[in-house]
Structure 1
Amino acid sequence: MRYAVLNQTERGAFQVWRGVLAGASASLVGIGLARFAYTPLLPAIIGAHWFPASTAAYLGAANLGGYLAGALAAGLFARHARAATILRAMMVLATIAFVACAFPVSFLWFFAWRFLSGISGGALMVLAAPTIIAHVAPSRRGFASGAIFTGIGLGIAASGTIVPLLLRQGLTQTWLGLAVVSLLLTIVAWNGWPSQDAPAPAQPHEHKQAKAPSPPALRALFVEYALNAVGLVPHMIFLVDFVARGLGKGVDAGAEFWVLYGLGAIAGPLLAGHLADRAGFGRALRVAYLLQLIAVALPAVSSNSGLLMVSSVMVGAFTPGIVPLVLGRVNELLAHHPALQKGAWSRATTGFAVLQALAAYGLSFLFSSSGGDYRLLFMIGAAALAIALAVDLFAALKRR
């Protein structure tokens, strides 16, 4: 009997980590590759005369728009089918979109498939992690969610390393290569999703008397997460150009800083999750806001290469690293209202997507109208993170 219990426990742990692997594969396909791999592909698309520069930029916006639509539609999908079914379908959709984009039939064709790939990414972001985390012991949820979102960091790193290598074989071959990678990851994840009726781990006894979360606490978290999106945009869009043209270091140096950004993105979710397991999600978030504030402000006040490297790695780490912290905080606030967790996470993801899109367009406009003032952009990003930290501290004081 004892060995039977041990074997059952081991099988349960094995299933959980299969689920974590499935979640990491989903984030790698839906966000890491479908969104970030397009960045190094854009110059090649223009250079190969698939589309002119004036319209190619809209194809990047198509994925962002689809992501927002997917985040909004995820709840509707979940009401009509099992989470595992939706997650498998979204990964298949992303794979098909990679194949379709290998053939530039027309602008509308390409735009539609980029939009559909964005839908898959938004739905995967909203549904994948909560589906897995519900079956992970509370003491390990930070690390598990960090492992799931490491896929985003791997995609960022791949955008600066693997994609340029694939491009040597040709643009069509690159899209097909991404499709093959996506297909393999879909196969890896296929049977890793937990069954919907599997029991979730019980909460520790000491939390049973916790009060239901107040709406202001959740609203504050949504505002903080959206502001965090604004803070990330200057590095995500302008870092390489700032190093290459703003500091006159050249394209190769800019690419090196993007690789550092990608290396930070790989480690970020795991480190953030580990911090949350040790300190709690609320405290870990405050540390994250403060570190990001410092890192985003560095390019605004210094051109020192060493400091810029630190800035690149730190912001790269929190680009995906902030996600498991906010997800964990949502679940923490709604620990006794599990039915509300996915809806709250969907609203948080939607707010993040909206502010990220608005910030991308707004900062691009400011950059153009200011005559190329990079430091202004980093100052705005740092200010957004300072406000996020202030909102979090004020909300914590109000709750106490």
Structure 2
Amino acid sequence: MQPAVVNGPLAPAFDVWRGTLAGASASLVGIGLARFAYTPLLPAIVSAHWFPASTAAYLGAANLGGYLAGALAGGRLARRFDAAFVLRAMMLLASAAFVACAFPVSFLWFFVWRFTSGLSGGALMVLAAPTILAHVLPSRRGFASGAIFSGIGLGIAASGTIVPLLLRQGLTQTWLGLAAISVALTAVAWNGWPGRAGPAVQHAAHHAGHGRAYPAASMRALYAEYALNAAGLVPHMIFLVDFVARGLGKGLDAGAQYWVLFGLGAIAGPLLTGHLADRAGFGPALRVAYVLQIAAVALPALVPGPAALIVSSVVVGAFVPGIVPLVLGRVNELLTHHPAAQKGAWSAATTSFAVLQAVAAYGLSFLFAHDGGNYTSLFLIGASSLALALVVDLFTALRGAPKRQ
């Protein structure tokens, strides 16, 4: 991958490799650590009597609420300030939130800082990758975006490895350790962001879509697909360990082993899907992703045995972060002639994903509690949601195909 140079009197050469590393660091801090590291910390918070179990669950929801706020606010902040300034500020804010959470002053204190960590994560998710990919050749954007979002997978893996090691030193020390990691990654990313584009670039971006119709119907369909994909991932993200431990009667240790497989898939997922997109294009790659996810999510409900569960854990784990570069690439692909609209569209897609993921999490939890603990229905609902995403995509593609005369 060659460094890209943005032409313009005020635009210096940009090192794409360094920018990709900055983007990966941002996704690791904002999503990988700020969101997923809380899962193994939750039992320790309850055991240490920082907060009761019922209250601690609301603190997890605070992060999701902040994520939605950050996804909505990220684009507005970038329009008002330089994107590099906002990205640095958000990584510093996430680091500060880790430090603040090391001291359980009160429920309100902790809630505000968990919300703040979510806000920084949402803003980083919306801004980091588009800021970098604007300087990457189209033929290499799949790989670059995959590398950027691999930080999410690393965070999932860290939730099962680094956090338990830090917890041996104590809960306060764990939060401070996460803060130290976050500060180190912020320093790594600090000079990796591109500067503000010069007037020539801004002029070109402003006029790039002149005379081209905005693909509104295709964008609405993509938002719906991404949201449905989010719902389809929820059964594994919430119930996989519980399904193995209690549903199959194998115990927590076995459940943790499958979560490790889930995390290993998450590390490789964005790189593999990005490579596929570079080879086949983002549209076809997205359809392949839907088909693979449908099969993987349905496997635990349809095929008994450890082999099927291993495949399901790895494949679904790969697509938790792996679907992100595909959808981002598809957004940029559809809006090639409307570059000024790309960040706003990605913000809308991220928001739709977060909203339906939250709705599905609460909805499936309610169904599970009132359905006698039926895991099969959860996996089948998830697979059905992904199948509907595929139907929407195929229908949109057929509707937009040139008609024969």
TM class, shorter-chain normalised?
over 0.9
Deviation at 1:301, TM superposition (A): 1.2
Q: Aligned with 1:166: secondary structure?
A: helix
Partner of 1:316: 317
Q: In 1, Cα distance between the equivalents of 2:79 and 2:326?
A: 26
Contact 2:4/2:14 (8 A) holds in 1 = no
Instruction: Give the superposition deviation at 1:210.
Output: 11
Cross-structure match for 1:119 = 119
Q: Is the 8 A contact 1:33 1:155 kept in 2?
A: yes
**Equivalent in the alignment of 1:30:** 30
Gaps of at least 5 residues in structure 1 are 1-5
**2:216 counterpart residue number:** 215
Moved more, 67-76 or 26-35: 67-76
Query: What's the offset of the Cα at 1:14?
Result: 7.0
Residues 209-259 of structure 1: CA deviation (Å, up to 9, x unaligned): 996452111110000000000001000011011001110111111011001
1:248-271 deviations in Å (ceiling 9; x for gaps) = 111111011001000000000000
Q: Assess if the C-alpha contact under 8 Å between 2:3 and 2:15 holds in 1.
A: no
Distance 1:246 1:7, change over 3 A: closer
Cα offsets for 1:318-359 (capped at 9, x unmatched): 000000000000000000100000010000000000001101
Q: CA deviation at 1:79?
A: 2.1
Q: Structure 2, unaligned stretches of length 5 or more?
A: 6-11
Q: Residue deviations 1:134-171, cap 9 Å, x none?
A: 00011100000000000000000000111111111111
Structure 2 residue 394 is the aligned partner of structure 1 residue 399:
no
How far residue 13 of structure 1 moved from its aligned partner, in angstroms, is: 8.5
> C-alpha root-mean-square deviation of aligned residues, in Å?
2.0
- Residues 68 and 355, structure 2, Cα contact 8 Å, conserved in 1: yes
Which secondary structure state, in structure 2, belongs to the residue aligned with residue 139 of structure 1? Answer: helix
Q: Deviations over 1:71-112 (max 9, x none)?
A: 011122112100000000000000000000011011110000
Distance in 1 of aligned mates of 2:366 and 2:65: 19
Change (3 A) 1:339 1:307: same
Distance 2:333 2:353 in 1: 19
In structure 2, distance between residues paired with 1:87 and 1:115: 17
CA distance in 1, matches of 2:14, 2:254: 43
The 1:369–1:7 alpha-carbon spacing in structure 2 relative to 1, beyond 3 Å, is: closer
The C-alpha deviation readout for 1:344-377, integer Å capped at 9, x for no partner, is 0000000000001101111110010011111111
Q: 1:279 to 1:251 in 2, by over 3 A?
A: same
How do residues 214-363 of structure 1 correspond to structure 2 at under 5 angstroms? 214-363=215-364
User: 2:16 and 2:299 mapped to 1: Cα distance?
Assistant: 40
SS in 2 for 1:191: coil
Partner of 1:3: none
Contact kept in structure 1, 2:368 and 2:374, CA below 8 Å? yes
- Equivalent residues of 2:270, 2:323 under 8 A apart: yes
Aligned residue for 2:197? 197
Maintained 8 Å contact 2:14/2:135 = no
Shift of residue 208, structure 1, vs aligned partner: 10
User: Who is 2:40 aligned against?
Assistant: 40
Work out the CA distance in 2 between the residues paired with 1:8 and 1:239.
42
Query: In the alignment, residue 363 of structure 1 is paired with which amino acid?
Result: L
Task: Give me the identity figure in percent.
Answer: 77
Further displaced range: 239-248 or 74-83: 74-83
Per the alignment, in what secondary structure is the counterpart of residue 135 of structure 2?
A: coil
Note if contact 1:247-1:303 (Cα within 8 Å) is conserved in structure 2: no
Corresponding residue number in structure 2 for 1:156: 156
